[in-house]
Amino acid sequence: MKKKISVVILLVGLAAWQCSKLDNNKPDLKQSLMKSVDNVNTAIGKISGSKGFEMLTVNGGAGATGVVTGAGTDAKSVEFFDLADSVTLDMVSGIYDFQPDASHHWHYFFPVSLFKKSGTSNHMIVNMPQRMMFRPKYLFNFGMNDSILKNNFKIDASAYHSIHKGWYSSDYNLVASFTYEKASIGDCEINSHANPGNGNNFTSEFNFPEGYNITVEQTAVDTARSSSFALKDKDDVLLKETSVITKTGNHMFEKQYILTIGNVDIKRSTGVDSIQVYLDGVLQQKAAVKIVDETADEDKSICHSRDLLITFDDGTKANLSVLINPARETLKTLVSSLGEMYFARHIVDYIAMSIAVSVH
Say what the pLDDT of residue 185 is. 96
| Chain segment 53-108, per-residue pLDDT in tens | 999 999 864 333 333 333 333 333 333 444 446 899 999 999 999 988 766 555 54
In a domain, 20, yes or no: no
| C-alpha closest to that of 64 among 136, 150, 119, 122 | 136
In a domain, 4, yes or no: no
Q: Higher pLDDT residue, 17 or 138?
A: 138
Whole-number Å distance between alpha carbons of 83 and 78:
10
| Chain segment 164-201, per-residue pLDDT in tens | 877 778 899 999 999 999 999 999 999 999 888 788 99
155 bridge partner residues: 126, 178
Q: Higher pLDDT residue, 153 or 326?
A: 153
Count of other CB atoms within 10 angstroms of residue 222:
8
Torsion of CA 161, 219, 337, 357, to 10 degrees: 20
Whole-number Å distance between alpha carbons of 233 and 44:
11
- Among the listed ranges 44-58, 108-122, 155-169, which one has the minimum average pLDDT value? 108-122
Query: Environment class of residue 5 by beta-carbon count within 10 Å: exposed (0-12), middle (13-18) or buried (19+)?
Result: exposed
- Domain range holding 312? 42-359
Q: Is 108 helix (H, G, I), strand (E, B) or coil?
A: coil
Is pLDDT of 12 > 80? no
Give the pLDDT band of residue 252 (cuts 50, 70, 90). confident
Say what the pLDDT of residue 303 is. 87
Q: Which amino acid is at 53?
A: F
Angle ∠(313,316,320) on CA atoms, nearest 5: 100
Q: Is 148 helix (H, G, I), strand (E, B) or coil?
A: helix
Contact 163, 85 (CB under 8 A): yes
| Chain segment 236-245, per-residue pLDDT in tens | 999 999 999 8
Is pLDDT of 111 > 90? no
Count of other CB atoms within 10 angstroms of residue 47:
23
| C-alpha closest to that of 60 among 119, 135, 163 | 135
In a domain, 183, yes or no: yes
Say what the pLDDT of residue 251 is. 79
Query: Environment class of residue 233 by beta-carbon count within 10 Å: exposed (0-12), middle (13-18) or buried (19+)?
Result: middle
In a domain, 16, yes or no: no
Question: For the chain, what is the domain count?
Answer: 1
Length of the chain: 360
Q: Is 188 helix (H, G, I), strand (E, B) or coil?
A: strand
The helix-helix angle for 325-340 and 29-48 (nearest 10°) equals: 60
In a domain, 7, yes or no: no
Whole-number Å distance between alpha carbons of 174 and 348:
9
Q: How far is CA 143 from CA 63, 69, 228, in A?
A: 18, 8, 42
Count of other CB atoms within 10 angstroms of residue 50:
16
Work out the mean pLDDT of the chain and round it to a whole number.
82
Pairing mode of beta strands 264-269, 115-119: unpaired
Whole-number Å distance between alpha carbons of 315 and 308:
15
What H or E segment, with its residue span, contains residue 48? helix 29-48
In a domain, 15, yes or no: no
